[in-house]
Amino acid sequence: MKENIRSRIEALRPLLKDPVPEVMIAAAEAIERLEAISSVDKILATLKTGNMGARVGAIYALGEIGGEKVLPPLVYCARRPEVDIRSAAVAVLGKLALPAALPILVELLEDENSTVQGRAIAALLNFPVTPDIINKLRIFLSASDGVLEAEAALTLAGLKDLYSLSQIHALLASPHASTRQAAATALSVIPVQ
């Protein structure tokens, strides 16, 4: 496979000097995609054998590659015992917003770690969600930890959940500055009726 990719890249290189700008751009984009495909194996090897920092970096690299092909390793990472790995995987799954990632993100709303939960809450902003998911998010408005209710307020506001307006308004009096800040932002995002 690597040889096949390498030969395609070499065939495309002369087009980087094509006199037609659209051809140059298409060749550059094609080379970039092919190089990304060839690097997936290296990234997956880093996920297995690298130190924590390298593994987290590999997760973000998979996010840059994107597409359905990176979903299985990201879902695997989202279920790992290491908080840093789970947290990074959730952030990338949210950014990619692949429909198949929605169930794992909803599952991780119940993670034992609040950082992972917060990332899962924020990630759901990028998905079309159901009333059931909205109800799960509303529960976090009463978390009172300065993280979860803040993320929930921002996500629910971004999802235009008018029914959470009074709860978000009440968060303006939170003892946590991060929650007050999020509530203020959320009130400016929720549509005015």
Domain 59-128 identical in fold to domain 129-193: yes
| Class of residue 153 by CB neighbours under 10 A (exposed 0-12, middle 13-18, buried 19+) | buried
Domain map (residue ranges) of the chain? 1-49, 59-128, 129-193
Where does the pLDDT of residue 2 fall: very low under 50, low under 70, confident under 90, or very high at 90 and above?
low
Q: How confident is the model at residue 167 (pLDDT cuts 50, 70, 90)?
A: very high
pLDDT on residue 46? 87
Q: What percent of the chain has pLDDT over 70?
A: 97
Confidence grade of residue 193 (pLDDT, cut at 50, 70, 90)? confident
Whole-number pLDDT of residue 3: 67
Residue-wise pLDDT for 77-126, tens only, equals 999 999 999 999 999 999 999 999 999 999 999 999 999 999 999 999 99
- pLDDT single digits (tens) 27-69: 998 888 787 777 777 888 888 888 999 999 999 989 988 888 8
* Burial environment of residue 166 by CB neighbours within 10 A (0 to 12, 13 to 18, 19 or more): exposed
- N- to C-terminal Cα distance for the chain? 57
Q: Where are the beta strands (DSSP E) in the chain?
A: none
Q: Which CATH class is domain 59-128?
A: mainly alpha
Assess if CATH 1.25.10 describes domain 129-193. yes
CB 114 within 8 A of CB 144: no
What is the spatial distance between Cα 79 and Cα 103, in angstroms, rounded to a whole number?
12
The tokens of 184 are what? 């203020």
